[in-house]
Amino acid sequence: MCRFWTQHRSRRNGHVEIASNAAAGQHYNKLWFSSSRGPSLESMLEWAEKEMRDTHKLENVRRVPVTVHKWVRPSVERLTLLADGSRVAREMQIIALGNSVNTTKPIEAELMVVADEEELKSRSGAVKGRIVLFNNEFISYGQSVKYRSTGAQLVQALGGLASLVRSVTPQSLYTPHTGATSYGSLNYTQMIPTAAVTVEDAMLMSRLEKSGHILRVRFEMTGDTNRLADGTLGTATSHNIMAEITGSELPHEVIVLGGHVDSWDVGQGALDDGTGFVAAWEAVRMLHAMKLRARRTIRVVGWTNEENGGAGSKAYNASVPADEKTVLAIESDGGTNAVKGITLFAPENVRSHILSIADLLTSMGTDTVLNATSAGSTGADIAPLVAHGAAGAGLIVDTPKSRYFWVHHTNADTFDKVDASDMRKSVATLATYAFCVADEPPATPTVNGTDTMPK
């Protein structure tokens, strides 16, 4: 039993005290200040560092420099469905995908609409000299993001001039969704421009093509995207940020809580991933304010560059001292609305211990523990830690109810979309797992298990 709960008359009393402190916490104000500080990530991190050190009196507060690739959005993003004998021209809302090259000059060409890679291959002979639109219906993020990530490579290999993708979302109010694209091993001269269109426009163009219309579009993306003469992206200095409550007995054994501090250059990044980072920060602050010092260290980490390269995660993993052991890493990167528990990648003996902790969260409705399918599926930023032997967990939400992917990577990812009550539950859930694992006696299987990780 977690020591904090044994100091109370019942499990519920322990849960109520954690939940009450979360309800009285500062997470919502933190998120507001974080998401309203304008376009500068670095100014937000400076503010957060000062808050952690001077206001909250957390320990070992630091910002650690990280070199990241810097891509700048084109100043012009334009797609026009050109008129034909039966249709007037139509301007469409688009958004460049992260890392995309520009068009240099407007591209005017015939448009081909395909549902997926299989259809692209079946019509491969018609791709050369055309712009291809992937009208791939959202099934899940993991399945549908494929064409945003690699669509440009698929189209370029067949001689296409540019790649467009249907925005990766289950619900649209005519809002295009950005996100990173990859050119793989293509050199600069081979790269073709790529952008996302709204769900509504993707469906419109698909219907028109299926009804026999020949579609022609004019596609233009221009501006300085910060590419060097050889076509590689320039670099900039960002920072990871971290703070902790040092363990009383085993300070070199660490429980990591965190989320990423960067967001795409549209919206405020409130759900992706302001809520994740701030909930982890508030969990640690709350435990410190309650004077709960566990046997092991509890550390909050804000990773930079998750959206466009993962340099923050790689730098953090490389900086972990040889004598430090990450016992458990929990990442929150799916919003905090409609939170329901965690997904877990750990040996069976660890899982049974985690399930006993989950029982403490039943009355709050965040006691779900699902099996993660791989070391990377609990979270992109903790994946290197899990690959090196740490148990990994990711905060999970009821995706349809959370509406996370409705605003993901859009101008609509703003503070007003955050449910304050659910964010409090997320704070309490993270704090409970962190403290209970961190405070286990040295011989417990959660921290010294010998079972192999799941396959």
Total residues found in the chain within this entry: 455
Burial class of 7 by CB neighbour count within 10 A (0 to 12, 13 to 18, 19+): exposed
State yes or no: is 17 an active-site residue.
no
Output the six-digit token pair for 82.
Answer: 């050109």
Cα–Cα distance between 2 and 339 in angstroms, integer?
Answer: 22
Question: Smallest Cα–Cα separation from 344: which of 307, 310, 382, 300?
Answer: 382
Please report, for residues 247, 274, 357, 400, the alpha-carbon distance to residue 439 in angstroms, rounded to integers and kept in the order given.
9, 28, 12, 35
Output the six-digit token pair for 95.
Answer: 């958004």
CB neighbour burial string for 127-142, b if at least 16 within 10 angstroms, e if fewer? beebbbbbbbebeebe
Q: Are 152 and 100 in contact (CB under 8 A)?
A: yes
- In degrees and rounded to multiples of 5, residue 10 shows phi and psi of -155, 165
CB neighbour burial string for 293-326, b if at least 16 within 10 angstroms, e if fewer? bbbbbbbbbbbbbbbbbbbbbbbbbeebeeeebb
- For the chain, the 3-state helix, strand and coil shares in percent, each to the nearest 5, are 35, 25, 40
Q: Exactly one of 253, 306, 307, 331 is catalytic; which is it?
A: 306
Please report, for residues 11, 135, 152, 195, 253, the alpha-carbon distance to residue 205 in angstroms, rounded to integers and kept in the order given.
57, 9, 19, 15, 56
Catalytic residue annotation? 306
